[in-house]
């Protein structure tokens, strides 16, 4: 039954049917429209209060849960619900994998509209918690108060916070006591920084007024045990900066790389900023199958290192190498896939837009004594052209791992034009991958598909597709 309540509608006893895109679950209203509901699990029966109404759907929140789904699990994190980071922590991992697989299948079917083989089983991550090697936290002088805190009636005052942005709120920071995504000593480092900064009255950033010393904190960990900590200050105050960094160096002698940035810009991205080394070296080392990869403060590196190894093994297997192939690794980043497959190839050519990443790729290849990889920098749609092919040769295999937007149409056209016998398409967004596969359907047949879960507790999923000439 539905009743109106100041523009908001309450639907009672609604069964949650599906887990949809962006980690939000889906139910059907009595009028047939879809209702998107966060923090519930398929199989739950709930009352929903809507807060948004559109032509085709409602958005609402569950006010009462009448029946708990058998797919539910108790979230391990005290911040679940308020923090947007692990939206599926209340769903059993086997179910998370089921919905991730379904998302890839639906995208490839509905958007791609191509003939598909039976999928290989989605590869789950062995570690479902503490699997991330990089976390970024923000400082704020106005801690986000949860609805429970507000309704408690206690005087909260303004408090400093160090944690994550509340979803869709750029100026609200949830104070994080324990995050289950990164291994120790990540939590201890963050909590000690907050304690020390508060005790020593170092000011936390105010994003509305643009004032306060402490802005962001990045912690990177590696399977080698190396740790990088980088603090971003809004302005330079040598005394306060050194007070904090010296404290960190002494309290956590295991930090391999201690760095900082002074960023007075409006936004807090560090990619156009100088990163200054305070102690140790300016990179940490990650290791995979005997290969060493140096990671600096700005480097892209797959955030789940253990599962990146699995992803790369599938990619290499799909490439079907004999040792005689010329491979192009498009969107190579720091050249990790290129180097990973290089032993089984005659030659690998990596192309990437970020110059620093290509610098790293070259340094890493040298460190790994790899001599059959060459790396080139530039926007793919401009670099990957007839002249490039004439200079470097006709590839036997193309491996492509584009960003979320997928490949530019000119890049797809170029692949179709040079038509290598095999293409391995790695994607973190199966919707854009499906669009590109549809374009490639004129010449290529999808031979294998294998989703890989790099991000347990979230709705994100990676997908590897093998294409061969028809
Ligand atoms: C998903 S990452 C893949 C990185 C790498 N394959 C790995 O596994 O570490 C996508 C890469 O594409 C690069 N990129 C984004 N747009 C690009 C463009 N237009 N031309 C070339 N590279 C681009 C990004 O800088 C990023 O390194």
Tens digits of residue pLDDT in 285-344: 999 999 999 999 988 899 999 999 999 999 999 999 999 999 999 999 999 999 999 999
Q: How far is the CA of 428 from the centre of ligand 1 (A)?
A: 11
How do residues 126-165 score in pLDDT, each as one tens digit?
999 999 999 999 999 988 887 777 777 666 666 899 999 8
Domain count, the chain: 3
Q: Does a structural domain hold residue 170?
A: yes
**Residue 151 confidence (pLDDT):** 72
Instruction: List, for residues 406-458, the tens digit of each pLDDT value.
Output: 999 999 999 999 999 999 999 999 999 999 999 999 999 999 999 999 999 99
The crossing angle, in degrees rounded to 10, of helices 186-199 and 238-251 is: 140
CATH number, domain with residue 407? 3.40.50.150
Residues 46 and 166 in one domain: no
User: What range defines the domain where residue 390 resides?
Assistant: 96-127+304-469
User: Per the domain annotation, does 276 fall within a domain?
Assistant: yes
Residues 345-359: tens digit of each pLDDT? 999 999 999 888 899
* Beta strand segments in 312-458, E: 326-330, 347-352, 373-377, 397-400, 422-427, 444-452
Tell me how crowded residue 22 is: count the other CB atoms within 10 A of its CB: 11
Distance CA 171, CA 98 (A): 35
Q: Are residues 115 and 144 in the same domain?
A: no
Both 109 and 159 in one domain: the answer is no
34-37 vs 444-452, strand pairing mode: unpaired
- The pLDDT, as a whole number, for residue 168 is 75
The residue behind tokens 């991205």 is 269
Please tell me whether residues 149 and 196 are part of one structural domain: yes
Instruction: State residue 203 phi and psi, 5-degree precision.
Output: -85, 140
With respect to residue 191, please indicate whether it lies within any of the assigned structural domains: yes
The Å distance, Cα 403 to ligand 1 centre, comes to 6
Q: What is the mean pLDDT of the chain?
A: 93
277 shares a domain with 229: yes
380 within ligand 1 shell (Cβ under 6 A): yes
Q: Ligand 1 mean position to 327 CA, how many Å?
A: 16
381, 325: one domain: yes
Written in H, E and C, the secondary structure of 21-87 is HHHCEEEECCCCCEEEECCCCCCCEEEEEEEEECCCEEEEEEEEEEECCCCECCCCCCCECCECCCC
Residue ranges of the annotated binding site are 302, 331, 352, 401
Beta bridge partners of 301: none
- The atom number, within ligand 1, closest to the CA of 334 reads 9
Catalytic residue of the set 77, 86, 179, 428: 428
Q: What does the buried/exposed string (b/e) look like for 305-344 if buried means 16 or more CB atoms within 10 Å of the residue's CB?
A: bebbebbbebbbebbbbeeebbbbbbbbbbbbbbbbbbeb
Domain identity same for 369 and 399: yes
Do 216 and 238 share a domain, yes or no? Answer: yes
Is residue 294 domain-resident?
A: no
Is 428 an annotated catalytic residue?
Answer: yes
For ligand 1, mutation pick of 333, 338, 378, 432 (most atoms within 8 Å of CB): 333
Record the pTM.
0.91
| Binding annotation for S-adenosyl-L-methionine | 302, 331, 352, 401
* Residue 90 placed within a domain: no
Query: How many A from CA of 424 to the centre of ligand 1?
Result: 15
Kindly state whether residues 311 and 329 are assigned to the same domain.
yes
Q: Are residues 120 and 139 in the same domain?
A: no
- Any domain includes 104: yes
- pLDDT for the residue numbered 144: 84
212-235 pLDDT per residue, tens? 999 999 999 999 999 999 999 999
DSSP-H helix ranges across 131-274: 147-151, 186-199, 238-251
262 and 353 assigned to the same domain: no
Asked if residue 229 is part of any domain, the answer here is: yes
Indicate if 320 and 424 belong to the same structural domain: yes
Residue 116, token pair as written in the block: 């598909």
Q: Torsion angle, CA of 403/406/411/412, rounded to 10 degrees?
A: 150
- pLDDT grade for 20, boundaries at 50, 70 and 90: confident
357 lines ligand 1 (CB under 6 A): yes
């Amino acid at each position: 039954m539905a009743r109106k309540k100041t523009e908001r509608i309450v639907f009672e006893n609604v069964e949650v049917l599906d887990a949809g895109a962006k980690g939000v679950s889906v139910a059907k209203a009595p009028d047939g429209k879809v209702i998107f509901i966060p923090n519930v699990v398929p199989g739950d029966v709930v009352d929903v209060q809507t807060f948004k109404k559109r032509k085709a759907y409602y958005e609402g929140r569950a006010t009462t849960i009448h029946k708990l789904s058998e797919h539910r699990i108790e979230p391990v994190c005290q911040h679940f619900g308020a923090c947007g980071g692990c939206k599926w922590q209340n769903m059993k991992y086997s179910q998370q994998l089921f919905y991730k697989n379904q998302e890839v299948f639906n995208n490839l079917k509905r958007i791609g509209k191509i003939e598909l083989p039976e999928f290989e089983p989605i590869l789950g991550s062995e570690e479902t918690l503490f699997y991330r090697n990089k976390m970024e936290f923000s400082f704020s002088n106005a801690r986000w108060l949860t609805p429970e805190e507000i309704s408690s009636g206690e005087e909260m005052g303004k408090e400093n916070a160090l944690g994550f942005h509340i979803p869709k709120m750029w100026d609200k920071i949830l104070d994080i006591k324990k995050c289950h995504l990164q291994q120790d000593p990540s939590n201890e480092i963050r909590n000690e920084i907050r304690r020390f900064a508060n005790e020593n009255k170092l000011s936390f950033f105010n994003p509305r007024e643009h004032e306060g010393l402490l802005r962001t904190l990045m912690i990177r960990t590696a399977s080698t045990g190396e740790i990088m900590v980088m603090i971003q200050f809004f302005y330079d105050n040598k005394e306060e900066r050194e007070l904090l960094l010296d404290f960190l160096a002494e309290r956590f002698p295991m930090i391999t790389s201690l760095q900082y940035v002074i960023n007075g810009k409006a936004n807090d991205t560090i990619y156009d900023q100088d990163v200054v080394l305070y102690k140790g070296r300016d990179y940490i080392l990650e290791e995979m199958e005997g290969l060493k990869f140096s990671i600096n403060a700005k480097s892209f590196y797959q955030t789940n290192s253990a599962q990146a190894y699995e992803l790369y093994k599938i990619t290499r297997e799909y490439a079907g190498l004999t040792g005689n192939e010329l491979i192009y690794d498009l969107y190579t980043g720091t050249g990790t896939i290129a180097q990973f497959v290089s032993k089984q190839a005659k030659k690998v050519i990596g192309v990437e837009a970020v110059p620093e990443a290509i610098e790293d790729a070259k340094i890493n290849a040298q460190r790994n004594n790899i001599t059959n990889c060459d790396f080139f920098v530039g926007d793919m749609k401009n670099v990957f052209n007839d002249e490039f092919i004439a200079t470097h040769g006709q590839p036997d295999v193309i491996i492509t791992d584009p960003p979320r937007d997928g490949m530019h149409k000119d890049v797809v056209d170029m692949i179709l034009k040079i038509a290598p016998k095999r293409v391995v398409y790695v994607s973190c967004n199966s919707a854009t991958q499906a669009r590109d596969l549809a374009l490639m359907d004129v010449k290529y047949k999808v031979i294998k598909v294998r989703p890989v879960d790099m991000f347990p507790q979230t709705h994100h999923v990676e997908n590897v597709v093998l294409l061969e000439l028809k």
